[in-house]
Structure 1
Amino acid sequence: MITTILRQAPSDRRASIAAWRQLSDILAQRGNQLRDGDIRRSLHALAVLRPQVPENVRRDCARAIARHGRFAPLVALYANDVPAVSAAMLGGARLSEADWLALLPATGAMARSILAGRDDLPVNVRRALASLGSGSVALPQPANAIETPMALAETGAEVAAASPANDTGSNQISELVRRIDKFQSTRGQPTAARKPRTGFLFETGPDGVIHWVDGIARGSAIGLSIAEAAFGGEPGTDGVAAGAFRQRAEMINARMILDGTPADAGEWRFSALPWFDPATGQFRGYRGTARRPYRNETPYGHPAAPDSGDSIRQLIHELRSPLNAISGFAQIISGQMFGPVSGAYRGMAETIVADAASIQAIIDDLETAARAGESVATEPVGETVDVAAIVAQVEHDLAGLLAEQRIDLSISRVGGSFFARAGDANARRMIGRLLTALVDVSEPGTIMVGQLVTETAHDDMLQLRIVRPASIRFATAANLLDPGFSPEGEAPGAAILSLGFSLRLVDSLARGAGGRLEIGHNALTLHLPSANPGAGSGLDVQQSE
């Protein structure tokens, strides 16, 4: 396997990332069993690939292999990377005492400082660190260093004045190490003693990577890049910041997500100005301030809380990291990037890619459900959507699933316009999840019947009513909302997240928009607030409940 990887020269960035992940994983798990020649070639390949692999990928790989990696040469390679990658590896690596003692001479002051903050190393290793002398580790800065975040109203000029303009790269690394040590020493203290942060200052280098912060724990922000947008709730900044960085333009109220302690983690808004060397005019990076978002800046009217969603972000990260790795390897096989692959293996790889995409959609549902459960809006959102158009689009998207299950879907329209006051993304998720969940529990060869109705003016509601499939015809509402309930025991054909989860998700999203999901005796009815009051006032529609 490793010979095959080393034989192929990566042709682009994507192939380089895949090769980096594969080599790192193989060395972490089987490095001690490989021949010396393969080990030297693999480490050399990683050193050559490193400039082509983004820092966040290297950091994630370090986190993934730190706990189960027992191969000292690989730990040494990661330990001599940039601070964020080195800290991710050395903070969790588990080596024998002999390996640690052999590794220390190959590490720098920053890496040794990270190790000095660990309290689980063998006694002889800690003694060896101490014997190297105080000059071998990064020294802490004076005790009177500024700790409190500055007022959010400070101007860009004040930010620039407050930044350590004369700091060298080594001084910034020393400050990072001091913060890591401080975090390690205080992590066991009660969290109640830590007050939520309200703002902080930061500075980036010309590459957009944050290398200095003041007002929060350094480990929460150091190493993040404002030059590239982060997606899926991952730590980082939004596309507004990335676009401004490319133009060297001012950033105003851009969005940033941080990991770390409850006091630092969560969503922030930041503004920043580019700064240039006064003597040469060379671009040197950005300096800015960050604050917690105001209430009216949070999506769907949810209140901003420093620790809201922190646990779900951690869960999403733990799920997505291995999923992306599996999907990436499957795409390599399917695309035959490292050489010819038989048709059977390509078919298996394509199936894995498709399954990974389905699981990704499920993870998105988990995240949406968690956010919907944090609070329920008291008023409908102001956005207007065409529910009839969304239903038609969902019917089109489900065509493949319906054909596979041999199910006919028939949803008639009763009334005039079908505009509702709801967010477009939420409306699509509500309707799509509801119909998909009911298709999953429908018997093959049946017809699923529904109606999209403009409700009478007294209620000012639209209704999407779907007749219960036969498999759940007599189930109680309590059973349908129970995540452990299934119509046929284990229900092998049911959705992975169960009917109960799907219905709860739909109800939460509907209530956030001012509607609800009603479970009646004969049908399930999604109520959404109408955006065309008075439409359908003359209808005499037979209720299906």
Structure 2
Amino acid sequence: MIATILRQTPEDERAGIAAWRQLTDILAQRGNQLSDQDIHRSLRALAVLRAKVPERVRRDCAEAVAQRGRFAPLVAFYANDVPAVSATMLRHAKLAEADWLALLPSTGPMARSVLAGRKDLPEGVRRALVALGAASVALPQPVAAPEVVPVLADAAAPAPDTGHSQISELVRRIDKFQASRAQPSAAQDLRSAFVFETGPDGIICWVDGITRGAAIGLSIAEAAYGGEPGVDGVAAGAFRQRAEMVNARMILEGMPADSGEWRFSALPWFDPATGQFCGYRGNARRPYRNETPYGRGAADEAGDSIRQLIHELRSPLNAISGFAQIIAGQMFGPVNQSYRAMAESIISDAAAVQAIIDDLQTAAQSGGPGDNTTPGEIVDIDALLRHVEADLEPLLSDNRVDLNVSRVGGPFRVRADDAGARRMIGRLLTALVDVSQAGTMVVGQLVCEPLPDDMLQLRVVRPSTIRFATASDLLDPGFSPEGEAPGAAILSLGFSLRLVDSLARGVGGRLDIGHNALTLFLPSANAEGEAGLDIQRGEESRVPEKG
């Protein structure tokens, strides 16, 4: 088989790609069974084909055989490719310790930086990487900086969590967006310019003026989409033509001083002796004000990204729910009972997910400067709380948890809109019921007393599972208290508390996390309510009697 492949000379790119895939697959599966001569000829053929096979194809092949990458010569061959291909292979390849030790001297700094980040390598290999010295690692693993938590003033930032879910990651993105809106002065610390150089493959291999990790390894040969780090189609098109790039767009991630949008210009350069294309050399700067549409800043772009993500979640959800309603309603004819039951379950689940998406959208839109508004609507929290308690009865029954909220004082009127107040109280109580152990009771008090700040309070005693948790733990989207109920809300306790606080601050209130209880403060409207009643009584007293 391999002799047949080697005898053929690829006539075009398609044939070269086919030969590359076949040789890679054979070496990955049966490399240890081939003769030394066949191995040498196969690797030589791959080396000749590499310049003719697109990087995307080489990267896909590396990803396809990485899990089966137990043939050391093939791993070594891919390890000396461009960074994107090399990293794909080295992140997952599994070799014996002796093979790793033999391979390390032939790898470059970029490949060693990938291996240095792996936790599953033999101890001998890790010692060898340390012995090679820090200078041999091009991109050491970054130390994550604590994120700013713009919720409670006395809460520390949550610790990084490598095991958080996609929802938790979205929560972190919302927090980062809101923190950037709340701290506009941070833009003054942004770096303003840098210079760079790429290889013939378009990968940035040298940079000066910013942190190396922000740009090294980024490709200017392929366009990036969806707000991901990379360049726009202008740069990618110019690269294919080996043409000059003028004011192309680049997005970087990394430290706050380096990340964000850049404009860059670059020229191709060629070997004076051979005329061979060697790459691009260029410089980058921050965009001018007139180059940003309508003066929109990076924070607005982050908000647009979150809103776009929410839109992409909502659209397929509506379609799924709509089809389920058609089936459950038998709109196109009779449907089997089991299918109708399944459709009704889908409708119920879709409604729950819809509520989650609404919460995400609310969190993305609230919490910034100027969001605090005082609505004119007056809500009776006592009556609203009774409705919430009735809505929670199925959840309380499923979790075998009791809820007891006593009333102290009154009346319980606040300045807020009905929907927002219902969401605040419902989300707070639901989250605390979710983390309560079966057979326990969630105890609270609704208090309305003459206070200096004239605030109504809803105090809820901490469930035993979070009795000793710190404020930073409770606000961490990845925090999972011991004893959490199996059906706990997907958006977690941390997200729920952040959402409640954002909604409360929107009407002039707040959520405080105390040592023994969580307290929701809402602005009292009792004085306004009494004034309204006095006016009404006065008008009634002036109505003339008939006859």
Considering the TM-score relative to the shorter chain, is it more than 0.5? no
TM class by smaller structure: 0.3 to 0.5
Using structure 2 for the length normalisation, give the TM-score.
0.42
Q: TM-score, normalised by structure 1?
A: 0.42
